[in-house]
Amino acid sequence: METRRTMFSFFMDPIKTIKLRWLQGALHDITQELSRSQFCRFAPQAWAPAINAYRCQECIRICVDLAGVERSLIDLTVEPRRVVIRGTRELPEPSHAEEHTVQLLAMEIDYGPFERE
């Protein structure tokens, strides 16, 4: 008896390809967010502050979300076609003895070194 091997060509439907790529991206986003929220305290890498950027008639205005960071501790580099902002936001904790932290209820504010280009 003769055994025949059949080779199959595998072509994916373009819609399935798009859905698969979307799913891969969504899974990547979820794993990134989980690792960021669970392990950000241990990661030395910089976080990126949120910005609003506006093109005006004679300039570009950038509003950077850096609540709690002193202006003197922000490093701003302006080059042609490039702006870089760097610094560090200290861990936000109560500072008075009577406000001693008993239990952490939520920790959503990024801290540590930041950089945005």
pLDDT at 62: 94
Structure-token pair, residue 89:
């936001």
pLDDT at 37: 60
H/E segment holding residue 56:
none
- CA 114 vs CA 35, 48, 56, 90: distances in Å: 17, 6, 26, 11
pLDDT at 31: 76
Category of 30 on φ-ψ map: left (φ > 0), alpha (ψ -120 to 50) or beta: alpha
pLDDT at 96: 65
pLDDT at 73: 92
Per-residue tens of pLDDT for the chain, all 117 residues? 555 655 555 566 777 777 777 878 778 777 777 766 655 555 568 999 999 999 999 999 999 999 989 999 999 999 998 999 999 998 877 666 666 666 777 888 888 999 999
- Dihedral sign of CA atoms 113, 108, 43, 21 in order: negative
CA 106 to CA 15: how far, in whole Å? 40
